[in-house]
Structure 1
C-alpha cells in the first residue's frame, strides 16, 4: 500500500513546525499527502500569535504550490491545519482524536544553559507526552532525537536504547536548580567586585551609572557562561559530548517510560543538512552544523581543521530525514516495544573529512567569494595536523590578539590607530569563531562512530517501489561530490554572497551626517569642544592661558612641572575625568579672572579660532541656518569659550570660583559637566525648552561622552577614540574626521611679548 494511502485521513500533530525539520515535514505533508491534516503546536513570539507565525511559514516560497491549490494562505490554513498555541513549557490541552504526534521541537544548540536545555529537551518532552496520553492515548508518538545520544562511544552504534544508568529525574532536578545557584554566586562580593572593576576600567570616564549598567550586563553574561559550563562539564563527566546530546539522551529515557503504555518510535538523524531534492535541491533554513565552517573556509577564515582526514562526517539530507520520519510514522509499533531508527550515512556511504575538504575546496576554487578591491579570497590548504596542534596555534593567536588589543586601547587616537583597531576587531571575531567551533565540534570530528541503519533499511525495503522513488531515504546512493559541490555549497553561500553585496554597498555609503539638515525649531545640536571642534586638550589650553602671565624663568619652571605631572594626569583622566579637570584647574589659584578673559580676547582668540576645524565651523553654521539651537558643552573653563560665543546659542563651561578680589581660588563654582552629567544637563534643558532629543544631534570625540551621544537620536562621533569608534560602528553612527587647518601650529604657545604694549606695562 502506498504511503499516501496508509496516512490518508490521519491527523498528525507536529511540534517545531517553524523549525528546519518541522517546516520540511509540513511541506511534504501538504504537497504529497493530500488527505492528511496537521495539528501544529506553535509558540507565540513577541506580538505574533501562533496563528500569525503559522501564516508566515505558509507564505514562504516552498509552500507556493500548496497555497495555489487551496486558493490562498488563509484557505490552506483553514482546510489543512489546526493551530494550537503554546510551547513546550506551557502546553495547553491537546485535541482528541490525534493519530500521530511527531515531536520535532527542542533546543538544538550544542551549548545552551543547562536549565534551558533540560526545560525544553526533557521536561518539555515529559509534559507533551502527558498531554498526549490524556487526550489521545492510542496515538503513535514519533520522537525526533539525534544519533549522537550514543555519547562518546566508539565503533558501531545499534538502533536501540542507549546503555546507561543515569537517572533523568535527578539530573533534571539538578539542572533546573543550577540557575538559582549560579545567580546567587554571581551576586557574591568577590564576583561583583571583579565584574564592577572590569566595567569601571572601560566606562568610568563615561560615568558611574554607565559603568554600573555594564557591570550588570557582565554579570548576566557570567551567569549564562557558568550555566553553559556547568552543563558541558556534567555532560562530559557522564560520557556525552555536550549539553545537547546529554539532554536529548535524558529525553529519550522519558520517552522510553511512556513507551510501556504507548506506541513509540524514536528517530535519530545524524547531521541534518540541505535537501537533496525536495522541496528543491539545496533548500535549507538558516545555517546548520557544517555550514559556518564551510563559509569560514570560503572566506579564508579557517586556516586549519582539527579532524583526522579519514574521520567521517555523518551527513544526511533533510528530505531523507523527513521521508524516513513519514515512513516510520505510518508503521505503529506495539506498546512496550519502541522502534528505533538511525537516519545516517556513515556506515554504508562514508563521507570522510578529506573528501569534505576536497569538495569544498573544489567549489570555492571555481566560485570564490569576491572581496572587492582585495580580489578573490586566498584559500587555506588544510594539512590535518591534529587537534592538539590546531589548539596550540589558536592559543598563540589569542595571546597575540590580547597584546594588540592593549596597544590600540592605550595608544593616542588617530585614523591610523582606528584602522589598526578595525583589524584587531576582525581578528577577534575570527578567533572567537574558531574558538567556539573548535570547542563545540572537536568532539564530533574526532568521534569514531558508525551509526548502523539496518532497521531503517528494512523499513525502506518495505515501501512500495513507487514510494522508494517518491520518498527516498537510502543515503547509500548519495553522490557526495554532487551533493556538496553542486547542491549544498551553492545554496549555503547564496545568502552570504547577497550579504557581501549589501555590505560593500553599505561600506561605500558609510553613515554620514545629512548634507541637507531638517529645518526645525525643536532640534538641538550639541557640540563638545576639545578634540571635537578644535584640536586641543585641557593641559594645552591651561598653558595657553598661563604662559602670557609668566616671565621666561617662570615659563620654563611651569612647563617642566606640567611635563612631570603628565603621567599622573593621564592616569587621573582615565580614572575620573571630573577629578582630573579639578586637579588641573587648581593651578589657576591666584590668577585674576578678568585678566584671563583679557588674555583670551586680546591674544588667544585668534589662536583658538585657528584650531577650529573648518568642517566643524560649517556644521555649526549649517545647524544654525536650519533653525536648530546650537549648544557648546565643554569641560574647558568659561574664558576659553569666549572666541566661540558668536557660533552658539548656549555655552555650558566650567566656571572658575573667585574670591572677593576677583582672584581664582583654584576651585570651580560647580561640578564640571563630564560624562553622564552632560547627558543629564541636555535632557533637562530639552525638557525645559521643548526640544525633541530623538531628532537632535550631538558631536563628540571621547568615550566619556557616550551618555550624551546616546541621549540624542542623531549621534555623531568626531575623530573618536577606539572605545567610541567601536560603539559608533556597532550603532552605525556617522564617524567624522574634523581636522584642524595645517596652518595652525600645534606647538605654538602665545607668550607675554605678544600682548599689546599697554597690557605688558
Structure 2
C-alpha cells in the first residue's frame, strides 16, 4: 500500500478543516457532487454515507467525502483525479464527525441569535443588507432588529428600508420560502426602522421614547455605517468614520443589557505596510509618522473645523468647499502615513473605540475587498459595481486596454456572505466577555491567495467563452491587457498614448470651433478622471501585504 494525494476536486472546506492529518496514513479523500451521486445513491445509502453536510439547504452543494484504501495499482488512476469504479470503492468512514462539528458551530450561532435585540447602523449598505437577511432567514425568532437609516422621520425611514432592502432580489429566497404575507408579517414583528445619523450625538434620534426603549432592550450593537469614498471630504469622513464610531460606542454604553459592540472596519487600515499584517488593535500612543509626528485626533478635527470656517468666511462656493475638504483629507492622511482619507478616518475610528471602550466587549471586523455572495442566500448577488467588479466589467466590455497593477500582487477579495457569517460567529463567541478587544481579518490572501495576474487569466478565459455584446448587438472580442507596474511608467504611457494626440485635437478645436464642439474638453476630462482613479487605487493594485487570519472558526 502507498499513500496517494488529495483528489483535485476535494471540497476546500473539508481539507481546510481536517488537513493532511485527516488522511490517517494510506488513505485518500473523495468528493462527490450531488449531481454525480444520483446514479450511485443505492450504493452509498446502504453504507449510511449519503448525507447532507448541513441541514436547511444552506449549502449549495451536497458533499460526500470518504476515506478509502489506496493501492499502488490504483494510484495512477486515482492520483490523476479520476474516480475509482464502484466495485473498487470501499467505504471505511464517512465525514460525519466533521459534519457534526460544522453543524454544532452553526447551531450555536443560530441559537445565539434567538431572542436577541440587535441595533444595526448603516442598514441600507451592501454588507448590512446581507447581514440582516441572514439573521431573518436562519433565526426568525430573533427578538428585534433596530435598523438605523438616514431619514427625516420614521415614515421616511420605513419607506427607505422597504425600497432599498426588503424589495430587493436579496430577499427572494425568504420570499419564496415564506410567501409575501408571512414575510411581511415577519418584517412587521421583528424589524423597527430608526431614523438617525451616527455623525450626530445620540445617533440623531429625536424620538426620546424610542431611544429610551432601545437602550433598555438592545443586546448587541453592530456598527456598519461608513463612508467608503477614498477621497471623501475630510469633514464628512471624520464625522462618520471617526467620531461617528465614537457616537455609536457612547450610545452602546447607555444600553443597560448590551453584551457587545461589533464594529466593521476595513483591512486596509494597515496603510501600505508590506509583509504579513497581524490582527492587532491600534494603540494610539504608538501612532507616529516617519518623522516621529504623533497623531492627535482632536487636533485633526480642529484643523478641519478651522479650514471649513475660513472657506465659509471667504464665501466660497459649495463646489470649492468640497474640493478643498477633499484635498485636506488626502493631505492629512498622507502626512500620517495612510494612502487616502477613507482608511485614515477608519483607522482613527478604531483608535477612539479602543481608547474609550472601558469594559464594553468590542470586536472589530476588518474585511478586505467585499464582492458578491458565494452561496447565501444564493450565489452571485451584488449591488452595483464595486472595486474589482468594475474593472472586470470594463475589461469584458473591451474598454480596458492598459492597467496599473503588479500582476504578482495578491488581490484579496472576500464574498459578502462570508463577511456576514464572520460577524455573526464573532458576536456569538465574544458577547458578554467583559473587557474583550478582538480584531479579526476577513479575507483570502493568507490562506487562498489569488494574484491579479491569475484573475486576468480567468477573465480572459471567461469573456472569450462568454463574450458580452455591444450596444449594436455584436459580440465583444477581448484581448490581453497591457500591465504597467509603476506609476511613473503608467503616466508616461498615458502621455504618449493619449495626452500628446489630444493636443492635436485641441488645435483643431481652436481653428474650427464650430465643427466638433468641445471634444478636446470632453476627452481631457476623461483622461484626468482616469489618472485620478489610478492614483486612488495605486496603493491597492501594487500592495505587497498579506492579511494574517488566526481565527478559522469565523468561516
Q: TM-score, normalised by structure 1?
A: 0.53
**Alpha-carbon spacing, 1:330–1:374, altered in 2? closer, same or farther (3 Å):** closer
**Alpha-carbon spacing, 1:279–1:342, altered in 2? closer, same or farther (3 Å):** same
**Alpha-carbon spacing, 1:298–1:319, altered in 2? closer, same or farther (3 Å):** same
Structure 2, unmatched stretches of 5+, are 1-103, 206-210, 288-294
Aligned to 2:539: 443
Distance 2:115 2:479 in 1: 54
Among candidates 283, 289, 292, match of residue 381 of structure 2: 283
**Alpha-carbon spacing, 1:411–1:374, altered in 2? closer, same or farther (3 Å):** farther
**Alpha-carbon spacing, 1:386–1:261, altered in 2? closer, same or farther (3 Å):** same
Within a 5 Å distance, the mapping from 1:256-655 to structure 2 comes to 256-332=354-430, 334-372=433-471, 375-387=474-486, 388-396=488-496, 397-401=498-502, 403-405=504-506, 407-408=508-509, 411-414=512-515, 417=516, 427-428=523-524, 430-454=526-550, 456-457=551-552, 459-460=553-554, 473=555
Aligned to 1:142: 262
Within a 5 Å distance, the mapping from 1:78-97 to structure 2 comes to 78-90=188-200, 91=203, 92=205, 93=211, 95=214, 96-97=216-217
What is the aligned residue count?
423
**Alpha-carbon spacing, 1:115–1:412, altered in 2? closer, same or farther (3 Å):** closer
CA shift, 1:268, in A, is: 0.3
CA shift, 1:425, in A, is: 6.9
Aligned to 1:180: 309
CA shift, 1:373, in A, is: 5.0
Structure 1, unmatched stretches of 5+, are 188-218, 461-472, 474-761
Among candidates 161, 166, 180, match of residue 58 of structure 1: 166
8 Å CA contact 1:43–1:86 kept in 2: the answer is yes
CA shift, 1:411, in A, is: 1.4
Distance 2:451 2:531 in 1: 23
Distance 2:500 2:304 in 1: 34
Distance 1:230 1:314 in 2: 29
Within a 5 Å distance, the mapping from 1:79-158 to structure 2 comes to 79-90=189-200, 91=203, 92=205, 93=211, 95=214, 96-136=216-256, 138-158=258-278
8 Å CA contact 1:119–1:176 kept in 2: the answer is no
Distance 1:302 1:360 in 2: 12
CA shift, 1:184, in A, is: 4.4
8 Å CA contact 2:219–2:257 kept in 1: the answer is no
Distance 1:264 1:255 in 2: 8
CA shift, 1:293, in A, is: 1.4
CA shift, 1:183, in A, is: 4.1
Within a 5 Å distance, the mapping from 1:11-90 to structure 2 comes to 11-36=117-142, 37-44=144-151, 49-56=156-163, 57-67=165-175, 68-69=178-179, 71=181, 74-90=184-200
Q: Provide the secondary structure at the position in 2 that maps to 1:340.
A: strand
Distance 2:307 2:445 in 1: 37
CA shift, 1:403, in A, is: 4.8
Distance 1:375 1:425 in 2: 30
Q: Provide the secondary structure at the position in 2 that maps to 1:310.
A: coil
**Alpha-carbon spacing, 1:148–1:412, altered in 2? closer, same or farther (3 Å):** closer
CA shift, 1:433, in A, is: 4.3
8 Å CA contact 2:400–2:481 kept in 1: the answer is no
Task: Deviation per CA, 1:362-400: give whole Å up to 9, x if none.
Answer: 222222232255944353433423222112122342354
1:249 matched to 2:347: yes
CA shift, 1:402, in A, is: 5.2
Q: Provide the secondary structure at the position in 2 that maps to 1:141.
A: strand
8 Å CA contact 1:259–1:337 kept in 2: the answer is no
Task: Deviation per CA, 1:510-542: give whole Å up to 9, x if none.
Answer: xxxxxxxxxxxxxxxxxxxxxxxxxxxxxxxxx
**Alpha-carbon spacing, 1:384–1:7, altered in 2? closer, same or farther (3 Å):** same
8 Å CA contact 1:110–1:244 kept in 2: the answer is yes
**Alpha-carbon spacing, 1:167–1:59, altered in 2? closer, same or farther (3 Å):** same
Among candidates 222, 225, 234, match of residue 323 of structure 2: 225
Distance 2:442 2:192 in 1: 29
**Alpha-carbon spacing, 1:42–1:379, altered in 2? closer, same or farther (3 Å):** same
Task: Deviation per CA, 1:179-214: give whole Å up to 9, x if none.
Answer: 223444674xxxxxxxxxxxxxxxxxxxxxxxxxxx
Distance 2:152 2:355 in 1: 32
Distance 2:318 2:507 in 1: 25
Q: Provide the secondary structure at the position in 2 that maps to 1:119.
A: helix
Distance 1:373 1:60 in 2: 30
**Alpha-carbon spacing, 1:410–1:45, altered in 2? closer, same or farther (3 Å):** farther
**Alpha-carbon spacing, 1:436–1:293, altered in 2? closer, same or farther (3 Å):** farther
Q: TM-score, normalised by structure 2?
A: 0.71
Distance 1:430 1:302 in 2: 14
1:168 matched to 2:304: no
Aligned to 1:631: none
Q: Provide the secondary structure at the position in 2 that maps to 1:84.
A: strand
**Alpha-carbon spacing, 1:282–1:268, altered in 2? closer, same or farther (3 Å):** same
